[in-house]
Amino acid sequence: MQRIRIAATASQADEWALVLTAAGIPNTVEADASGWAVLADDTVRAHGALAAYDAERRERASPTPAAHEPYPWMSGVALGLLLLWSFTVTGTPAAGSPWFERGAAAAGRILAGEPWRAVTALTLHADVVHVVGNAVALTVLVPAIVQRFGAGAALLLLLLAGAGGNVLAAIVHDPRHVAVGASTAAFGAVGVLVALRLVPSEARPPGRRWPAPVAGVLLLVTLGSAPGADLTAHVTGFVAGVVLGFVAGVAVRRRPGPAIQWILGGLAAIAVAVCWRLALRA
């Protein structure tokens, strides 16, 4: 056998030997004056197997989120500003704004053939305090999701969680119940983040996964049940976020590239525009 590599420690040599054994390459480990030598007969295959192993370890250790999304907080700020801008367009229901008649999440109408209200209601707010609270919440919550999935994918996830939460709330609520606001999507974001902590990961010991669900439930209880808040919609948004976050966390191991992010973000924007088009024509 010929010397392939010299390891500084016995454990490192055993690790390389295990790689060669898994590749079906006969090998052995011997003590050497400079460390521990890994020997093998088929030197070409042995060098190739160890090189591939080294490349895989470097890829796993590379900080891909930071490299692709250096300023994820900007996505949260942009979404918060978008909510504030939409409020200047729609106004408040107290001012007699027609947007609320067309786009509010009226439970009975959603179930009676106007599902677009589950989306349009996310862009409407009752007053300044309502919209500012949701804008701040999304500004804080969105960056963590952007770091994991990218801006476009995060935007689509939030839209699906918010709309899904509104549909579930319509099923539970009295048909006469009417709601507005992006808080369903905000609690959907909390659900996504909780789910991501539950997705199995080699870098996260199982014993450290419980704080995230507990923190999510506490946030849901303290903020979601505030006076005047639609607790049902907050709970359903949270549940929708947990389901979507878990599915996405398991299915999407690596963040999609820039082209896919633009497509996903575009789909989310188009979905909102189409839903408002349907609402205004109904």
pLDDT in tens, 19-35: 888 888 899 998 887 88
Query: What is the pTM for the complete model shown?
Result: 0.70
Of 111-120, 183-192, 194-203, 239-248, the least confident: 194-203
pLDDT tens digits for range 242-276: 999 999 999 988 888 899 999 999 999 999 999 99
- Measured CA distances, 4 to 11, 44, 217 (Å): 16, 9, 54
For residues 168 and 234, what is the distance between their CA atoms, to the nearest angstrom? 10
Structural domains of the chain, with CATH: 2-61 (3.30.70), 68-281 (1.20.1540.10)
- Read off the amino acid at residue 7: A
Which residues, 6 or more positions from 271, have their beta carbon under 8 angstroms from its beta carbon?
Answer: 119, 159
Write the DSSP assignment of 131-158 as a string of letters: HHHHHHHHHHHHHHHHHHH-HHHHHHHH
What is the pLDDT at residue 202? 44
What is the pLDDT at residue 67? 45
What is the pLDDT at residue 87? 93
Q: What is the mean pLDDT of residues 142-170?
A: 93
What is the pLDDT at residue 207? 45
